Amino acid sequence: MSKRPRTLDSFFSPPPKRVRQPEENSGTITTSAPGQESSSERKLSRHPTYPFPVPDLPSCISDMLNFAPAVEPRVINDQPDLNLLYYQPYVPKEIARDLFEFLRRELFFYRVRYMIKRGPVETLINTPRFTTVFGVDETARWSEDGSLNDCKSGRSVSKDGYKCKPRPLPHCLDVLRTLTEGATGCQFNFALVNYYANGKDSISYHSDDERFLGVEPAIASFTLGARRDFLMKHKPTPEAHVSETKALKLPLGSGDMVLMKGLTQSRWLHSIPKRTGGEADRGRINITFRRAMFKGGTENYYRYNVGDGEVYRWNEPRQEMLPWKTA
């Protein structure tokens, strides 16, 4: 791959960051793919909880990630309780499309359905997007053989220690997590991935203020693929004069990242609304890195992002997510 062109500004900027390899305790078992040899052999992340192996990032992508973040962030803190760092973009433009297509093609996804109860009424919820999740909370740690150990005792976590089956981040996501930690000074142990197939896929107003995320959590949210509007509005809390705040709309493009921190989650709501036609129909991936502190966080994330449904995988000839068959 040719070297990245140097500009006048680059000579006065710090040297690009080098990608630090994921920690050994990530629990991901990486091996070469069958039938491939030499130094260019393809590497795969494997784990018993994966329905199929996930390839490592190709060098053409991982090499360019050395230049992330591509720009310095814009600080948005001019409204009550709002604390954002907005990178436009974080992922270098030269690889944003390739990274999107790689993750869409190589990751496994789910279309989660679950029941919620409001009073005596139970309602079936169909998640309006494809989801998947990797990671485990702070009470456990992956060993080198891919098993889970309790952080306090050091002993292996029993089979009934979790109702779900936690799984480590594959190398392709762990590289991005490591870079993000280095750039932001935050720590993350979860990667939630959403795939919005078209403009009809969405997420309603909500905040990520669950107790298992701790006080004033930091969440790094990446956009890859289609540009989608990211809407924010202040919660109607008695602590703030909502009339003094204005709704916010960020047109997140491919490679952009928003770091939400401070009081943002406890005081603000955010959403990705439906959009008709246009760029939204070309598909969007959203990756959010988070840090769960307790087991309840692990149970929550796997329930609502994996569930009990079938596995989906991107079908290149048909250009859509289809149920994955092991046969």
Nearest alpha carbon to residue 91 among 215, 240, 254 = 254
In a domain, 34, yes or no: no
Phi, psi torsion values for 165, nearest 5 degrees: -120, 90
In a domain, 107, yes or no: yes
Nearest alpha carbon to residue 92 among 198, 1, 30, 217 = 1
Query: Is residue 228 annotated as involved in ligand binding?
Result: no
pLDDT tens-digit map of 95-126: 999 999 999 999 999 999 888 877 888 888 88
Contact yes or no for 229/275 (Cβ under 8 A):
yes
Number of domains forming the structure of the chain:
1
Phi, psi torsion values for 105, nearest 5 degrees: -80, -35
Average pLDDT over residues 250-260: 98
Amino acid at 183: A
Query: Is residue 171 annotated as involved in ligand binding?
Result: no
In a domain, 85, yes or no: yes
Q: What tokens appear for 107 in the block?
A: 């990751």
Query: Is residue 288 annotated as involved in ligand binding?
Result: yes
pLDDT tens-digit map of 7-50: 333 333 444 444 454 554 455 555 444 333 344 467 999 999 99
In a domain, 204, yes or no: yes
pLDDT at 196 over 70: yes
In a domain, 228, yes or no: yes
- The Cα–Cα gap between 90 and 192 comes to 18
In a domain, 2, yes or no: no
Q: What tokens appear for 216 in the block?
A: 């004033």
Q: Please tell me the predicted confidence (pLDDT) of residue 115.
A: 80
Query: Is residue 49 annotated as involved in ligand binding?
Result: no
In a domain, 10, yes or no: no
Query: Is residue 196 annotated as involved in ligand binding?
Result: yes
CATH at 208? 2.60.120.590
For residue 173, the enclosing domain spans 43-313
In a domain, 3, yes or no: no
Amino acid at 222: F
- The Cα–Cα gap between 144 and 133 comes to 20
